[in-house]
Structure 1
Amino acid sequence: MSPPDADTSAGLSEVDLERSLKASGVGDKAASSYAVPIVDLSNPDETAVADALWDAATTVGFFTVVGHGIDEESIDAQFEASREFFEQDLAVKEAASPFESALNSGFEHMKQVRPSTGLPDVKESLQVTARADAMSGRWPPKPADFEARTRAFMTKSHALAARILTLLEPRACPGQARGTLADAHTLWGPDGQCTLRHLHYPPMSAERVAALPPGSWRAGAHTDWCCVTLLFQRTGEFGLECAANPRTNSTEWAPVDPVPGGVAVNVGDMLSRWSDGRLLSNLHRVRMPAPNPGTGEVPVRYSLAFFMQADKSAMIQCAEQPPITAGDYILGRIRSNFEK
């Protein structure tokens, strides 16, 4: 099967949705404040947990989980590895992990152009895709234990995402056997597509921010391509905002601020399609914060995004749209963001 173009079978509605934000102004709409739900996964009542997740996923679509079982030491260690990598010179980072869009792996610096803005995001990222060949020649040599640390962190993130999918599955995909969604996502096999994205939004002077093209964002409004995203944030680093999907006629933006011990979670396009729209992926963005009054500098922001993306050969079957492999689906979305 030949891979689809970004504007054909893979992600047509999602790409069109993002492009529409540029003309409508929805992507630039100011944020107000409403509560993003918090779900405690340590609650021994699994039915209550599943109900809380379903309610959060079908309203805002973005929520924070606590009691999730990933220890703070592991999260802090991954952030430290990320910081050590990004503090290197640009040329060193590009040589250490050259970006390859077809593999969705490697380092990129201001290359992702959102359809919602038509401009590059003001950030850099290092993407680690958990497929057998995707990281060949792309594991950074600094820090020295980066590969081992990252593999261990991705294993924990994968287990958490699998649990969330399994709790949502009975109502999201009632016609399929329990465990189908989780089983479609593997790590380090020949078809793996799960990705850990290390994100760095660099500090900038007020003058540097003013020199950016009008309409620039740290990350323009978008939906994610995966089934679910786990987003790890550092306390005190703000800017993430979400809105219910405009297909529900709601465009109220709200901050998704870091919660101590919490991990932000959102539904992605792949699960929205798999569930025949029972769940909708939601919009989110990262705004450029105001300069620090003391220094006049826009502060730094780091985050870690684990994308739970089904294996390339997994078939996304639903009633409302034709079947498509997860590999072709993701490739179409990559093309819409990285190819002109």
Structure 2
Amino acid sequence: MGEEGMMIPIIDLDDFPNQAEKLVCACKEWGSFRIINHKVPLTLMSDMKSVVKSLFDVPVEIKKRNTDVIAGSGYVAPNKDNPLYEALGLYDLGSSQAVQEFCNQLEVSTDQRDTIMVYASALHNLTTEVWSKLAESMGVGSDSVKEWKCQFRINKYNFTHETIGSTGVCIHTDSSFLTILQEDECVGGLEVMPISSLPMGSFVPVDPLPGSLLVNLGDMATLWSNGTLYNVKHRVQCKDAALRFSIAMFLLGPKDKLVKAPPEFIDADHPQLYAPFTFIDLRKLRLSSGSRAGEVLDLARLPPIASQTV
């Protein structure tokens, strides 16, 4: 079931600080928004999609060389929960050594390697810019966000006539602070669940908009903002008999530093909701508990102040 007439917000990165209030509202009510004027060249986006297609055509024994650095960061084969989905991944996109190792694993050509390197740098810079604009729009310092770890994931959906109406990826939240997604400009299927549709749980289709990029907020954003920002629930549905590709960049967080809500989000009416966590520890808790759709934040909650031991 969808929400008729609802459209995901569009944020113009060339129009700040005028867009600041709109950005914060989108993050609170949708946890998701499109960005335009993002400065990533359309030719680079097109070239990267061509590289992605070719990477999924290599033999499966080569794909399996793309091993995990952290849980879920490497190759994901179709499985019982998501039989139409396949993915390759790269942890620590800000490290040129990690990018080169990813390319070595998959035996990419020199031209493909150059495209991946340029794209990785462009998206890493954009991810930093988007998070900094959000933090500044909320009156909070963005910390040393340039040092935060990023993860890169390329996705393939094997949609056919027989699978129309089925689920490509089950409902989930991202565990990251935010995700920047280059969608397939031809094949839709992504659906998000804005705050206004809760608790009924209806989805809003996110139709492709060529040239734009999509941003989703994850569990770490909700933890960091003391519950102010919405970690959007989303899924992918098969609506067309066509292969669908997407490219995701995840801003994870600082490697070892605990993440907790800044003082700007805490007062007498808004006590601290969550225990401080590193991204790695929150992700481990999420995986061990099977909390795929934001339930991990319930496990991270502090007890009510009245019941806390002094």
TM-score bracket, normalised by the shorter chain, equals 0.7 to 0.9
Q: Give the one of 261, 274, 277 matched to 1:321.
A: 274
- 1:322-337 matched pairs, under 5 angstroms: 322-335=275-288
Q: Give the one of 251, 255, 271 matched to 2:221.
A: 271
* 1:201 equivalent in alignment to 2:163: no
Q: Give the one of 115, 120, 124 matched to 1:158.
A: 124
Aligned to 1:7: none
Change (3 A) 1:337 1:205: farther
* 1:128 equivalent in alignment to 2:101: no
In 1: Cα distance, 2:281 partner to 2:197 partner: 24
- 1:1-340 matched pairs, under 5 angstroms: 29-30=1-2, 32-43=4-15, 46-94=16-64, 96-97=65-66, 99-100=67-68, 102=70, 104-111=72-79, 119-130=81-92, 136=101, 139-170=105-136, 172=138, 174=139, 178-180=141-143, 182-185=145-148, 192=149, 194-206=150-162, 209=163, 217-245=167-195, 249=199, 251-290=201-240, 298-318=241-261, 319-335=272-288
Q: Please, what TM-score do these two structures have when normalized by structure 1?
A: 0.73
| Structure 2: segments with no counterpart, 5+ residues | 262-271, 293-310
Which letter does structure 1 place at the counterpart of 2:88?
A: L
In 2: Cα distance, 1:231 partner to 1:250 partner: 26
How many pairs were matched up? Answer: 278
Mapped contact 1:226–1:270 kept (Cα < 8 A): yes
Q: Please, what TM-score do these two structures have when normalized by structure 2?
A: 0.79
| Residues 58-114 of structure 1, C-alpha deviations (whole Å, 9 max, x = no match) | 2222111100111111111111111011122333422x42x3263543221124x7x
For the residue of structure 2 that corresponds to 1:52, the secondary structure is helix
Change (3 A) 1:315 1:156: same
| Structure 1: segments with no counterpart, 5+ residues | 1-28, 114-118, 186-191, 291-297
Identity %: 22
In 2: Cα distance, 1:160 partner to 1:224 partner: 18
Which letter does structure 1 place at the counterpart of 2:122?
A: K
Q: Which structure is richer in relative contact order (CA contacts within 8 A, separation 6 or more)?
A: 1
In 1: Cα distance, 2:161 partner to 2:69 partner: 31
In 2: Cα distance, 1:110 partner to 1:338 partner: 20
Mapped contact 1:102–1:331 kept (Cα < 8 A): no
